[in-house]
């Protein structure tokens, strides 16, 4: 059985990566991210260190639920997280999910329906400006903890209702306005992060300078060890 994960301070390695966010006794959960700058981004979503989006991952058959926050009706619905169809242009609202303007993000629940072994969680976004970077905390659970709540709204602390913090992600580096394509991959040195049914993304906006700071999320993949 895996030891309970304990968050450690984020170590920024370079403008393109964040490594070793949380640690367990016998393994290390790491977060890396790639960015394709605006001039290098394309519909192919090819990255140096993160796999391209998948149409056959565990998330393709999962339920995606807005637990907290308001979806921007100018964008796509939650099916955009898992349909494997990514944008073909840098500013294509209908191909992305994002929270409404003038709001500070929200929470998205992914329910696999049953606990499953997980190798990676990968998230993708694309926008030419401040809606490109990704900022979120990811909590996980098998749903068996005493007092577990599957859909905790803000300001409820997920750690107090059966969730474990797996990773804290912030791809803004030293330039919060940097647009482009972003790909984040959360994995484990043993090859398997653990067995989970539920994934709670607590998503924050990337900036407060204008009403349009919520990220254009193109895809969320939950990848099994096979």
Q: Answer whether residue 16 shows pLDDT above 60.
A: no
Tell me the sheet residues that pair with 111.
Answer: 63, 198
Q: Average pLDDT, whole number, for the chain?
A: 88
Residues 99-135 have pLDDT tens digits of 999 999 999 999 999 999 999 999 999 999 999 999 9
Q: Is the pLDDT of residue 23 over 60?
A: no
Q: Cα 172 to chain center, whole Å?
A: 14
State the pLDDT at residue 27.
58
Tokens at 160, concatenated: 């107090």
Compute the distance between CA of residue 13 and CA of residue 159 in angstroms, rounded to an integer: 28
Distances (CA, A) of 80 to 96, 141, 167, 197: 6, 23, 22, 20
pTM of the model: 0.87
Count Cβ neighbours within 10 Å for each residue of 48-64 and write b for 16 or more, e otherwise: eebeebbeebbbeebeb
What distance in Å separates the CA atoms of residue 190 and residue 107, rounded to the nearest whole number? 28
What does the DSSP assignment read for 146-161? TT--SSPPTTS-GGGT
Position 182 pLDDT exceeds 50: yes
Structure token pair of residue 146: 């005493």
DSSP secondary structure of 40-101 = T--TT---SSSPPP-SSSGGGGSEEEEEES-B-TTS--GGGGTSS---SSSS-GGGSB-BPT
Give the CA distances from residue 92 to residues 18, 30, 205, in Å, rounded to whole numbers and listed in that order: 27, 30, 18
Checking DSSP bridges between strand 120-127 and strand 180-188, what pairing results, if any?
antiparallel
pLDDT tens sequence across 139-170:
999 999 999 999 999 999 999 999 999 999 99
Of 18-27, 187-196, 208-217, the range with the lowest mean pLDDT is: 18-27
């Amino acid at each position: 059985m895996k030891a309970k994960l304990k968050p450690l301070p984020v170590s920024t390695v370079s403008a393109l990566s964040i490594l070793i966010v949380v640690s367990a006794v016998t393994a290390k959960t790491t977060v890396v991210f790639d960015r394709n700058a605006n001039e290098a981004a394309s519909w192919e979503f090819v990255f140096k260190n993160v796999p391209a989006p998948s149409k056959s991952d565990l998330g393709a058959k999962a339920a995606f639920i807005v637990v907290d926050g308001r979806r921007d009706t100018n964008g796509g619905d939650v099916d955009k997280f898992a349909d494997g169809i990514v944008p073909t242009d840098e500013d294509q609202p209908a191909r992305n999910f994002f929270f409404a303007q003038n709001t500070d993000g929200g929470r998205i629940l992914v329910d696999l329906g049953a606990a499953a072994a997980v190798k990676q969680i990968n998230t993708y976004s694309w926008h030419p400006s401040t809606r490109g970077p990704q900022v979120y905390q990811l909590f996980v659970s098998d749903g068996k903890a005493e007092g577990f709540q599957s859909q905790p709204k803000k300001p409820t602390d997920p750690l107090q209702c059966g969730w474990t913090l797996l990773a804290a992600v912030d791809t803004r580096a030293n330039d919060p306005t940097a647009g482009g394509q972003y790909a984040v991959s959360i994995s484990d040195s043993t090859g398997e992060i653990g067995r989970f049914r539920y994934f709670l993304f607590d998503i924050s906006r990337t900036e407060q300078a204008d009403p349009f700071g919520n990220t254009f999320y193109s895809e969320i993949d939950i990848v099994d060890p096979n």
